[in-house]
Amino acid sequence: MAIILLVEDENFLRDCLYQALLQTGHSVHQATGAMALTVLEQCGQAIDMLITDVLMPGANGVDLALAVLQQRPGIPIIFMSGYGEEIMTRYPEAPKAVFLAKPFLPSHLARIVVTLLTLRSLQDAREDVLVDPKADSREVQSIPRTSCNLPTALAARYCLGELSGHRRELYEDHFFGCTICAEQVRELSDFLDMLRSSRGPFRK
């Protein structure tokens, strides 16, 4: 379960997004732009993701994002705006983030949140869970296809292009014949495709 800070000045929209995010099983702190820094002071160290409007009365989401990242470096950021992504040209200092143009369905945001948090947790997996680079393809192919215990992090690193050379070849030898790993690769590839189609590449 992740802890999400949701910042939006439109009460109805904020409530809709709040309810959609709760259904993903995460804990959500919500705030207006004016209250965001106060909420951040109360729970900043525990925040796993920030979702914020860009332009709000008396506040902007970019400054808030930079403040959050001071406390929690590297957490996923989602910017929202009804002005389109060109609004971000005003903020060259903006951190790497996903951008969502309003309007969008709350369920669409919830799917992106799940995707980003999944990818973040998998990218944080330790290197030592990967296939032994000294192994040969016969060892990898001998892993039972119906009870495979290779970690999901391996599929994530494969999809993200973080496996190279011998490790990539070993994993391909295995997952092309393993229904469990093949499904993991398919699901993660779908996650990445969904992110690319929904908002283009990560900013920066």
Phi, psi of 74 (to 5 degrees): 85, 0
Q: Would strands 55-56 and 59-60 be described as parallel, antiparallel, or unpaired?
A: antiparallel
In a domain, 140, yes or no: yes
Q: Are residues 59 and 83 located together in one domain of the fold? A: yes
Distance CA 25, CA 1 (A): 6
Lowest-confidence pick of 91-95, 115-119, 180-184: 115-119
Q: How far is Cα 200 from Cα 97, in angstroms, rounded to an integer? A: 11
- Does 175 fall in a domain? yes
* C-alpha to C-alpha distances, 194 to 100, 130, 204, nearest whole angstrom: 13, 26, 19
> Residue 149 has what pLDDT?
66
Indicate left, alpha or beta for 200 from its phi (over 0: left) and psi (-120 to 50: alpha).
left
**pLDDT of res. 180:** 81
Are residues 13 and 94 both part of a single domain?
Answer: yes
- pLDDT tens for residues 24-64? 888 999 999 989 888 888 875 688 999 999 999 888 999 99
Same domain, 42 and 106: yes
Q: Could you list the residue range(s) of the whole structural domain that residue 100 is in? A: 3-123
Angle, CA of 103, 9 and 20, to the nearest 5°: 55
Exposed e or buried b for every residue in 103-141, given b needs 16+ CB within 10 A?
eeebeebbbbbbbbbebeebeeeeeeebbeeeeeeeebe
146 lies in some domain:
yes
Residue 202 lies in a domain: no
For residue 39, what is the domain's CATH number? Answer: 3.40.50.2300
- Residues near 181 by beta carbon (within 8 Å), at least 6 away in sequence: 148, 150, 154, 155, 171, 174, 175
Residue 172 CA to residue 185 CA, distance in Å, equals 10
CA distance 115 to 6: 17
Confidence of residue 77 (pLDDT cuts 50, 70, 90): very high
Instruction: Please tell me whether residues 73 and 170 are part of one structural domain.
Output: no
User: Does the residue 131 lie in any domain?
Assistant: yes
Which of 66, 88, 123 marks a domain boundary? 123
Q: Is 204 contained in some domain?
A: no
For residue range 181-203, list pLDDT tens digits in order: 888 788 777 766 766 555 444 44
